[in-house]
Structure 1
Amino acid sequence: MIGREKSIYDVQTDEQLPYQCKVEKRGNSCADEPRGDGFVTIHKKLRKNSSDSVKPNSNVEPNPGLLTPTKHPIQENGDTPEKVRELYSLVENLRCRTSIFVNSSLPVIYYGARTHKQLQQVVKEFKRTVYCGNASMTILSSRDNTCLREYDSKQWPSKNDMCRGCTKTFQADKSSSKGSNCPYFDNRKALNHKTLPPAFDLTDLIEAGERLKACPFYAARDMASGANIIMCPYNYLVDPGIRNRMQINLQDNIVIIDEGHNIEDICRDTASFDFKLDHLRNAIKEMTAAASQRFGSQHLISHIDFLLNVLKKWEQWFENQIPLIKGVVINNKEATKLFDMDAFVNTLNEYNIGMERYNGFSKKVLEFCKKLQEDPRTLVGVTQSTGTLLESLETALGYLFRDSCRNMEHFIPVFVRKVDFANDNVSWRHSQFEKSVKNEQYILRLICLNPALIFSELHSARTVILASGTLTPMDALKAELGTSFPHAISPKHAISTDRVWVGALSAARCTRAALDAAAQDALGRAVRAVCAAAPHGVLCFAPSYDVLRVLRARWQDTGLWRELEKLKDVYIEDTDAKRHDTMMQEYVESVEGRGALLLSVYRGKVAEGMDFRDRQARAVIAIGIPYSNTKNIAVMEKKKYNDKYSRNSNGQLLAGSEWYRVHAYRALNQALGRCVRHKDDWGALLLIDSRFEKSQNREHLSSWVKSLFKTNDHSFNILEDLKSFMVRMNQNDENTT
């Protein structure tokens, strides 16, 4: 292995920090003068009808109306999530004090959120701003979400392959006057900023596409070339592969990442890869068929032969690892073999798929995938899955071998045997149950432990804003992302202290191992008491789907489930996106009727980013502390990694055990934040776990939650106080109406 260069976690001086942002007012007399301090300059505002001119570029036409808006100020609304209103208030203040123009063009604002449901809320707020109608916007999404063409799974492996096959058939032939095989694609220009409202979400875009028979996917991409604001899921901004495919250029533009507490995990996941032997063999099959046809130019045939040879060597590498993992104990349906990085690279070199061959492999992959994208007629039978596999392999090896191999130390290679058992009850046992294995997969997993490798690619942006209610501790977040954020805004919660009730109940130690029958019954009594006291909607969060299944089974056996159903309609979060949306509609309707209880998990769809305002969440029950599975290989290695590098980060990077705690409490705080969404809202938070009796286990709760604890009593007596709070607040609501 090549010698280690300076680590990203070595202590740096201010001058060495890779990215800084500083707001500074200055006149336009020095507009073109370079800065030597690495800070961003905010230039003088250009006034409407002033003599100062703005030169248009190919992407964005200058819009004088955007410079000095004359509409009414931003209006607050009780339906608006508090955090979103605060963010727009910040933007409004900046608008009043400084301008955001750079020389000859407007920066594009990229607004990323976790889900389109969250973006829907942002669009709702954008409609209320002074910019709506002056600043053009678009929203990006996948073909799976936006394709209007009927999908035939028998003809096409995926929607991506269908889209490529239907839209690229005639595009490569410039002399042809024919359109493509997709009428929606051919009519995509009908869907534009003139035929859409000034602010639209994904649902609006799809409905307009259906009405105009125009493709929402390509129309949104076309509109992005001239939009001032581009909204998208934040993996579109973080993942370099998606950025390239969607032609997203962050250079000198503005990036806003909502729900920013997820960015650390997202960056690590983006640079982590799973390569499955089954996918590799499918790719070999497709490339072999393409090679046998010997069509196209000699240049393309040589690429196919080269890449096919490399894939076959990878297949040999996999097959030779299988005997080494067959005897490894299976835990949670997986057996794992952890590689030392030097040993891993040596095995790749032995099969001629390592460092020395990477440059040639990289060049041919990029050329081959470009041809696959632009002219699939020359590669009939090669699906998008094969192209994605080759691109992912090139990217993963690039992280290891580029830049003099300096990033190797930030990755862990793991060989995985994943099994399904005929009887799930033996999934945890030793390999003596080999006869019970129904099917198995072999996976090479390359785990990234340093999110800064991905986040550093956002440094080309003019400004990066992370928005979340749970970013603390900030120094640790900065160290994880390898980025300096010199400006931090942390306002106090807007809710009045008499409108929120917070208490902790020591009914049980809510870990999977400690949840015996008595603990499950105690939790059931607590949930029943809250549902009896709280009107309308109640949310209940559990640490995992496994815990949720255990509780449901026990409560059904004891009859408590029927008691809950007598009090409220009971719903359980669904992992399927479409079923989840349907369930949420039913929940909202039930809230306004006899009331509803929604059981869900931390880090799930319900726990993060969804807006449960007013009656939709009069109470939130938080069961346990959502610590990640300590037997998960990625979690174990991340803890070891932080222990190693925290010593070199001047205390900013958290040690492994503390990182593990903070990671859990960020998820807990997000779930608690579903309850009160604006200053006139009200509700109750009940934390259930015996660990909350100790002050150190309340240390990482959000400051507003800690400040509102009503009592140190952790017995069932506190539920009477909760009931009194609910009666008082409900009477206030009735008197108000």
Structure 2
Amino acid sequence: MDEVTEGVQKLDFHHPYTPYNVQTQFMTTAYNVLQQGEGRVGILESPTGTGKSLSLICAALTWLRNHKKESYESSMTEAAKEFKDEPDWIVSRMLKRKHEELLRQWEEREARLKKIRAKEKMEEERRSKRRRIDDPSSGKASTGEQDDDQWLLEDADGQDASLDNEYSSSVGKETRELMEKLGFISSHKNEEEENVEENEVKIYYTSRTHSQLSQFIAELRRPTFPPSLPGSIIDENSSADSEGIKHVPLSSRQRLCINPSVSRLGSLAAINDRCSELQQPKAKGKCEFVPKSDNISQTHQFRDNVLATLPDIEDLFDLGKKLQVCPYYASRTAIPGAEIITLPYPLLLQKTARDALGIKLGGNVVIIDEAHNIMDAVANVYASEIGLRELRRARQMLGVYVKKFGKKLKGENRVMVAQVARVVDGLSEWLDNALKLKSEQGIVDPNALLKSKGIDQINMYKLIQYVQDSKLAYKIEGYVAQVEEQDDNNSAHPTSTTPVLHTLVSFLVSLNNLSSEGRIFYHKVPGKDQQDIKLSYLLLSPTHAFSSIAASARAVILAGGTMSPFADYTAHLFPDMDPGKITTLSCGHVIPSSNLCVWTLASSKPKTGDASRVEFEFSFQKRSDKVMVRELGVAILNLCTVVPDGVVVFFPSYGYLDEVVKIWSEASSNPNPAAAASQPKSSIWERLQAKKSVFQETKGGSSSDEVLAQYSEAILGSSGGRGALLLSVVGGKMSEGINFSDRLGRCVVIVGLPYPNINSPDWKARIEYIESTTLERLSASASASSSTAVLSKAQMAAQAKQAARDFYENSCMRAVNQSIGRAIRHRNDYAAIVLADRRFAGARIREKLPGWIRGGMVDGSEDAGLGQMMGKLGGFFRGRKGS
């Protein structure tokens, strides 16, 4: 055991409860990754229900406070070295003065924040916390008062092109100077003038959804940590014995805008454009909430309230309304003093978004929670799509706009609007022709796409820059919406229009940045009236997009409940990183081993040579075998007999679920003709419904919440004695984020392995990309190596194919592991997990299951059959009656 690890294990992580062993293991590993720093990466798995979020908080903030102490003490040592030739009393006085200055600054800040906390607590006792109440009609200007000229494009010389980020690119000199003072945009100060807190290490924490961030913030309020002051100062000053956590939540304008005339626009792109436009030097009706000279006091008050109160996004919105200052911009003033900053995936994963928010990852810590889907999240951030219907709508909107303002457009504006129209026509022409293709989907040659209407002759970079700077999309869509409102005589309710021009610009950005890591696809979409066809951009690999994060940050921690299998993260997020800098951990569960029973159901009967034995293999080639599907129905019917309360069954796809239900619904469903003759001719479907209330998830998701509510009521309600059966899909809404704890999920059944369709154009492109890049990497490594043991071309090709196969298989297993994780949700929970497919018995597949699942597997279950499974599960649940 190295000294660092040994030292970490002796630490107090200030966990608010007595931590389980797996929590201590998790915190120790996370702390060790942060302590080693220097571009370290931790990939940590801790099952849902083991207090992962709280463990992350305790490890990260304990390290941060200790790091601050060590940094200060180190600076004192360095300062003393500079005075090594001076008398001891001079050195002592200098150090004392530095100690006193640090303490004074700390006490002033903490006193200010403590006063705010006390005030907030008093207000909380008098009233319940205010929450945002949306009022679509509030602040809506009468269309009769609107001036059509507000939609007219400004001449090029009216725009300030000297500023280079998302919100500073459209502000006047006075506003810019103020924003520099407030820290919203970078200024040209000398380093000595910067706020010291700017250089302190910060923790950037991100998760997938707004609700997950809110849950994390609730956990953040549980622990308390000692102050970051050195121990010698704390010992001398008893008042310095506690320090609140400084936290800032960041979000988009869509969630934080308090200007009703802007927030009512709905789409994020339109809100961003309108907000920026209102800060133009020549803008009419400038936003009154943007920080400026006459509300700088409220802005500072906003900052101090944020740092004092551990707010979530709703609290930020309410505080902004209360102080009448923009939460989106004012929250930036709190960043220098923050220790931990929470933000959703897109704001961290996209460099342009980080730059716009002033996020500097250099030397800071990045924690990505729910990181099992981080590769998909990166792809989604960079994905874009445009359809033929949207392009036709865009062309119509351009026509309406040009008809009104065409004669007023001058110079560059006239040329650029014409070029946008030409791009729309060119893409529309290509899609019109693609509708005649026999294939429903395929890969698009970007060169062929750009030849339509001569789009390749247009400087696409310049066009995109113009559209973004001029707010063309917002102006055209805003004007057309106003015209349609007036035509409908419906001024009280603005017409909702899809922001098609913003969608077009996003696609053009992808098209312009197309590299070896991306592909463009077309796919036909059935419609009520007529078929539509869409172009979509897919990022094949997250490596390049994620590399700027990994290269900048002091340390990156990927954490999740089901991170297995780990190989993809190292191969596709950190392919060039020294393996010695990557730490992986798969924690066990906090439940007793007796609370979990995992059974591999490989066949209907044991391996005894019985001719009626049916082997379960739900591969694409075999899964339509009616005999096997009926035997699966019999197995689930038996499960419903011995499993109390809720049973959740996950199928590979919605299409296959429908196919199975159809077979189960057929009469005479017993595969044995002799048995069928002696039994009532009821279908398996009817017999399942007689055992439990049966519910089925359907594609589309609109009714998923209703289905889940009905399923829960059937188990937990007054008539829930016989329990319920829920038929769901791996990768569907029920397989991720839904909590089937306790009685809602006493048994989870996984039917087959949900491999993606390898013949689809997108998966073909992914496989080809991984093979080619792996081959390039192996070839480059071979060329640089002086070793005689260099792989042959055939060996390298084989390894490249294996890498692609692993990626394909790992994608399937991540989805399986997410579904499995729906059942056990806390220490006292218990459940059975049935893996219904003989392929789950293979060593390669088993290795890709989480460690706690492998630990709960019943030895030899793959060679047993349904009868032995019933005996085992019957005993398992009888032993837990009343628990």
TM-score by length of 2: 0.60
Q: CA deviation at 1:685?
A: 0.9
Whole-Å separation in 2 of the counterparts to 1:216 and 1:643: 56
Q: 1:91 aligns with which of 45, 54, 60?
A: 60
Q: Aligned letter for 1:453? A: H
Whole-Å separation in 1 of the counterparts to 2:286 and 2:435: 58
Whole-Å separation in 2 of the counterparts to 1:394 and 1:162: 17
> Does structure 1 retain, via aligned residues, the 8 Å contact 2:477–2:501?
no
> Does structure 1 retain, via aligned residues, the 8 Å contact 2:278–2:284?
no
Which digits, 9 at most, give the CA deviation of each residue in 1:236-259, with x for residues without a partner? Answer: 322456556666554554322122
Question: Structure 1 residue 497 and structure 2 residue 593: aligned?
Answer: yes
Question: Structure 1 residue 329 and structure 2 residue 438: aligned?
Answer: yes
Whole-Å separation in 1 of the counterparts to 2:475 and 2:325: 16
Q: CA deviation at 1:705?
A: 2.3
Q: 1:125 aligns with which of 209, 214, 219?
A: 219
Q: 1:727 aligns with which of 877, 880, 883?
A: 877
Counterpart of 1:465 in 2: which secondary structure?
Answer: strand
Whole-Å separation in 2 of the counterparts to 1:266 and 1:704: 26
Counterpart of 2:585 in 1: which secondary structure?
Answer: coil
Question: Structure 1 residue 487 and structure 2 residue 456: aligned?
Answer: no
> Does structure 1 retain, via aligned residues, the 8 Å contact 2:646–2:743?
yes
Q: CA deviation at 1:372?
A: 4.4
Q: 1:353 aligns with which of 455, 458, 464?
A: 455
Distance 1:251 1:279, change over 3 A: farther
Question: Structure 1 residue 440 and structure 2 residue 543: aligned?
Answer: no
Q: Aligned letter for 2:557? A: I
Q: Aligned letter for 2:857? A: F
Higher mean alpha-carbon deviation, 472-481 vs 537-546, is at 472-481
Question: Structure 1 residue 412 and structure 2 residue 412: aligned?
Answer: no
Partner of 1:536: 645
Partner of 1:477: 569
Partner of 2:342: 231
Counterpart of 1:308 in 2: which secondary structure?
Answer: helix
Whole-Å separation in 2 of the counterparts to 1:512 and 1:381: 53
Distance 1:292 1:70, change over 3 A: same
Which digits, 9 at most, give the CA deviation of each residue in 1:272-303, with x for residues without a partner? Answer: 332223222322333343344449996xx545
Counterpart of 1:649 in 2: which secondary structure?
Answer: helix
Whole-Å separation in 1 of the counterparts to 2:816 and 2:744: 19
Which digits, 9 at most, give the CA deviation of each residue in 1:216-268, with x for residues without a partner? Answer: 99646644652534434323322456556666554554322122121222223
Indicate the structure with greater helix content: 2
Whole-Å separation in 1 of the counterparts to 2:602 and 2:751: 10
Whole-Å separation in 2 of the counterparts to 1:471 and 1:415: 32
> Does structure 2 retain, via aligned residues, the 8 Å contact 1:529–1:719?
no
Which runs of no fewer than 5 residues in structure 2 stay unpaired?
6-10, 24-47, 72-195, 226-241, 290-294, 485-496, 604-615, 668-682, 779-795
Q: Aligned letter for 2:469? A: E
Counterpart of 1:275 in 2: which secondary structure?
Answer: strand
Q: CA deviation at 1:634?
A: 0.6
Whole-Å separation in 1 of the counterparts to 2:705 and 2:469: 41
Whole-Å separation in 1 of the counterparts to 2:311 and 2:534: 41
Question: Structure 1 residue 671 and structure 2 residue 767: aligned?
Answer: no
Which digits, 9 at most, give the CA deviation of each residue in 1:396-455, with x for residues without a partner? Answer: 13323xxxxxxx3223333444344x8xxxxxxxxxxxxxxx512232333322211321
Q: Aligned letter for 2:647? A: V
Distance 1:239 1:644, change over 3 A: same
> Does structure 2 retain, via aligned residues, the 8 Å contact 1:543–1:602?
yes
Whole-Å separation in 1 of the counterparts to 2:505 and 2:18: 47
Q: Aligned letter for 2:520? A: P
> Does structure 1 retain, via aligned residues, the 8 Å contact 2:647–2:746?
yes
Question: Structure 1 residue 452 and structure 2 residue 548: aligned?
Answer: no
Whole-Å separation in 1 of the counterparts to 2:664 and 2:706: 25
Which digits, 9 at most, give the CA deviation of each residue in 1:33-72, with x for residues without a partner? Answer: xxxxxxxxxxxxxxxxxxxxxxxxxxxxxxxxxxx99977
Q: How does 1:393-412 map to 2 (within 5 A)?
A: 393-400=507-514, 408-412=515-519
Counterpart of 2:774 in 1: which secondary structure?
Answer: helix
Which digits, 9 at most, give the CA deviation of each residue in 1:334-371, with x for residues without a partner? Answer: 243x345xxx3366267543387234224313312389
Distance 1:452 1:121, change over 3 A: same
The higher radius of gyration belongs to 2
Partner of 2:499: 385
Distance 1:161 1:444, change over 3 A: closer
Distance 1:667 1:379, change over 3 A: closer
Question: Structure 1 residue 592 and structure 2 residue 716: aligned?
Answer: yes
> Does structure 1 retain, via aligned residues, the 8 Å contact 2:383–2:538?
yes
Distance 1:275 1:374, change over 3 A: closer
Partner of 1:12: none
Whole-Å separation in 2 of the counterparts to 1:378 and 1:215: 35
> Does structure 2 retain, via aligned residues, the 8 Å contact 1:571–1:587?
yes
Counterpart of 2:824 in 1: which secondary structure?
Answer: coil
Higher mean alpha-carbon deviation, 351-360 vs 306-315, is at 351-360
Partner of 1:134: 244
Distance 1:276 1:323, change over 3 A: closer
Counterpart of 1:488 in 2: which secondary structure?
Answer: strand
Partner of 1:289: 400
Partner of 1:717: 867
Question: Structure 1 residue 523 and structure 2 residue 632: aligned?
Answer: yes
Partner of 1:367: 469
Which runs of no fewer than 5 residues in structure 1 stay unpaired?
1-22, 26-67, 181-185, 401-407, 423-437
> Does structure 2 retain, via aligned residues, the 8 Å contact 1:552–1:561?
yes
> Does structure 2 retain, via aligned residues, the 8 Å contact 1:497–1:708?
yes
Distance 1:366 1:463, change over 3 A: farther
Q: CA deviation at 1:622?
A: 0.9
Whole-Å separation in 1 of the counterparts to 2:502 and 2:441: 26
Q: CA deviation at 1:86?
A: 4.3
Whole-Å separation in 1 of the counterparts to 2:574 and 2:739: 31
Q: Aligned letter for 1:396? A: S
Whole-Å separation in 2 of the counterparts to 1:697 and 1:629: 18
Higher mean alpha-carbon deviation, 469-478 vs 159-168, is at 159-168
Higher mean alpha-carbon deviation, 314-323 vs 715-724, is at 314-323
TM-score by length of 1: 0.71
Q: Aligned letter for 1:460? A: S
Q: CA deviation at 1:546?
A: 1.8
Distance 1:376 1:90, change over 3 A: same
Counterpart of 1:661 in 2: which secondary structure?
Answer: helix
Overall identity of the aligned pairs, in % = 23
Q: CA deviation at 1:591?
A: 4.0
Distance 1:543 1:460, change over 3 A: same
> Does structure 2 retain, via aligned residues, the 8 Å contact 1:109–1:253?
yes
Q: Aligned letter for 1:487? A: I
Q: Aligned letter for 1:478? A: T
> Does structure 1 retain, via aligned residues, the 8 Å contact 2:651–2:729?
yes
Whole-Å separation in 1 of the counterparts to 2:626 and 2:880: 34
State the Cα RMSD in Å.
4.8
Whole-Å separation in 1 of the counterparts to 2:407 and 2:326: 28
Counterpart of 2:650 in 1: which secondary structure?
Answer: strand
Whole-Å separation in 2 of the counterparts to 1:387 and 1:250: 32
Higher mean alpha-carbon deviation, 578-587 vs 697-706, is at 578-587
Whole-Å separation in 1 of the counterparts to 2:64 and 2:272: 43
Distance 1:81 1:221, change over 3 A: farther
Distance 1:92 1:157, change over 3 A: closer
Q: CA deviation at 1:97?
A: 5.4
Partner of 1:50: none
Question: Structure 1 residue 468 and structure 2 residue 560: aligned?
Answer: yes
The count of corresponding residues between Structure 1 and Structure 2 is 626
